[in-house]
A and B are shown apart, each in its own frame.
Chain A
Amino acid sequence: MRAYFGRRYMLSASHRLHSKALTEEENRATYGKCNNPHGHGHNYVVEVLVGGAVDAETGMVVNLVALDQAVRTRVLDRFDHMNLNLDPRFSDRVPTTENLCRAVYDLLKNALPAGELEHVRVEETENNFFECYGE
């Protein structure tokens, strides 16, 4: 039977929302405080949902330790306590949480120990979050 296993992780990072395609004024108008020149940070919550058959021997969809390892090496080690604007992934795109969410999805898509990635949710603050289903 297909079921889903979810796990929540936290990472802290800084960013500045600023598009090279916009003028200084347009950036200011579009991003407001998020465009302040020296950036700011968030405690992001990354929720990873994995779908698959429940293994008859273990009762599990995915091995939690292996999932933690994949998320740690691919996502947390890369982004935690970093400035997102300096990551190569964001050299040509703005590190909005939409784009961070898709980046996490892409990094995990082919790296899961078992099961398949159903969705990635990134919560930027308690009041906003973003989801990517790989579509």
Chain B
Amino acid sequence: MIFLTRRATFSASHYYWNPAWTEEKNREVFGRCANRNGHGHNYTLEVTVAGEPDPVTGFVVDLKWLRDLIEREVLEAWDHRHLNLEAPEFAETMPTTENLAIAAWKRMEPGVAAAAGAQLSRVRIYETPEIFAEYRGQA
């Protein structure tokens, strides 16, 4: 089994706010991330696909195909957007880096599964160079 990773970057804004909580509790838990007009990050997305290299092409999947999948499924929806206001999956769910990793997985998994012989193995998202989250499809 070979693991192949493609990296992509996107920029987006967000804020953290739980509407079930008071303003005071939101401030206490989320700090500056609760500022209501939001803030932004340059995110780096790493998508890891696992499979056996094709005997003819030597590819697990075509990297161009994977790049296009990432752009179509994730970047078109999130790049240069406000995640809370414009991405449907974050209308009710907090756009934390953990939830971004899970949502990116859900967006891409059907497309990767449809490509013969490969499976999505890991999605990692860096919010800054020091902070990242990942999802491996676990329940």
Contact = CB atoms under 8 A, between A and B. Distances in A.
Interface of A: 1-9, 49, 54, 57-61, 63-65
A5 B102 contact: no
A5 B128 CA distance: 12
Given A1-B102, A61-B133, 15 more contacts: A2-B139, A3-B133, A4-B98, A5-B133, A6-B131, A6-B132, A7-B130, A8-B131, A58-B16, A58-B18, A59-B94, A60-B94, A60-B98, A61-B98, A64-B131
A61 B93 CA distance: 14
A48 to B, nearest CB: 11
Given A57-B20, A58-B29, A2 B97 contact: no
Contacts of B31: 65
Contacts of B131: 6-8, 64
A81 to B, nearest CB: 19
A59 B96 contact: yes
Which of A3, A63, A64 is most buried by chain B, counting CB atoms within 10 A of its CB? A3
B129 A54 contact: no
A4 B124 CA distance: 9
A3 B130 contact: no
A4 B134 CA distance: 5
Contacts of B133: 3-6, 61
